[in-house]
Amino acid sequence: MTDYVSQTVDVLDCYEGRDAAITFTLYFCCLLSGFYPRKSNLHRSLQRVFKRLEDCRVVLRLYDDLTILRDLFTYELRPGERNWIVRFLKCLHYIAWLGYYPAEHIAWLGEMKMLDVDAKLWDFYTNFFWATALLTSALWNAYVVLEYMVQQSYAPEKKEAEKKSFIPWTAARNAMLATVRDGTEFMVAVNYLPRGYLWASTLTFIQTGAFGTCSAFLRLVALFKFHHDH
């Protein structure tokens, strides 16, 4: 019990853990609100909590630009990524995040009337970059899982000859979880786009909350495992 509490404190004490916990809470509120009539006080209260926590996450992300820029350069300068498909998707992923953060800042400042911009247009850019970043992440992780499955079908002689390039089970498992995590969040990101883009603006509160809660839960699971291993 003490170890569990200690791990929980460690997760909540880091930025990623706090963000994942807030995300889980806000989407869980969205999920619960869908079970009540839209005109009921409980539905409106849960939606207000959902919106306030969304605003909280926007404020927390105000200084994330330099972090994603560091991650991009760290990845680009790191040798050893031999698969060009994964490298291409990862580069697109980081470029999408580089577009996401400034767009979100501008949209937020537009909503605050601090910039004379079309806040709805910049909100569209924000959600477009968000969906792109999640899609590329889900695709490259799915490719890693597929590559792992192909490697498992190799003959024993080929396995021995190429064992240095083999993907370990732990990496494949993490990639599988990341595919589901980013895939479910991608469903939410597309829903925030204007109607006409795939399933945009068609998901119910329950569906949006379920996808978002699932994604945030997998983020928390990964963080708990990381802190447990360390």
Q: Quick one: 70 and 178 in the same domain?
A: yes
Instruction: Report the amino acid identity of residue 58.
Output: V
Q: Is the pLDDT of residue 167 over 60?
A: yes
Q: Quick one: 50 and 103 in the same domain?
A: no
Residue with tokens 């993490």: 174
Q: Considering the chain, what is the average pLDDT of its residues?
A: 89
Q: Quick one: 210 and 157 in the same domain?
A: no
CA 82 to CA 105: how far, in whole Å?
35
Residue with tokens 């806040």: 119
- CA neighbours within 13 Å on the CB side: how many for 78? 11
Q: Quick one: 226 and 167 in the same domain?
A: no
Q: Quick one: 222 and 185 in the same domain?
A: no
Q: Does residue 89 contact residue 140 with C-beta atoms inside 8 Å?
A: yes
Residue with tokens 């609100």: 33
Q: Quick one: 10 and 75 in the same domain?
A: no
- Backbone dihedral region for residue 200 (phi beyond 0: left; psi -120 to 50: alpha; all else: beta): beta
Q: Is the pLDDT of residue 181 over 90?
A: yes
Q: Quick one: 91 and 143 in the same domain?
A: yes
User: Any residues with CB less than 8 A from the CB of 148 and at least 6 apart, and which?
Assistant: 167, 169, 171, 172, 175
- Domain ranges, residue 33: 1-63+203-230
Q: Quick one: 81 and 192 in the same domain?
A: yes
Q: Does residue 212 contact residue 13 with C-beta atoms inside 8 Å?
A: no
Over the stretch 18-45, which tens digit does the pLDDT of each residue have?
Answer: 999 999 999 999 999 999 999 999 999 9
Q: Quick one: 133 and 193 in the same domain?
A: yes
Q: Quick one: 190 and 95 in the same domain?
A: yes
| Total domains, the chain | 2
192 phi/psi in degrees, rounded to 5: -80, -10
CA 64 to CA 108: how far, in whole Å?
14
Q: Quick one: 80 and 194 in the same domain?
A: yes
Closest CA to 137 of 145, 36, 18: 145
Closest CA to 127 of 222, 27, 53, 58: 58
Confidence at residue 79, expressed as pLDDT on a 0 to 100 scale: 57
Over the stretch 148-160, which tens digit does the pLDDT of each residue have?
Answer: 998 888 777 776 6
DSSP, collapsed to helix, strand or coil, labels residue 40 as coil
Confidence at residue 212, expressed as pLDDT on a 0 to 100 scale: 97
Q: Quick one: 59 and 70 in the same domain?
A: no
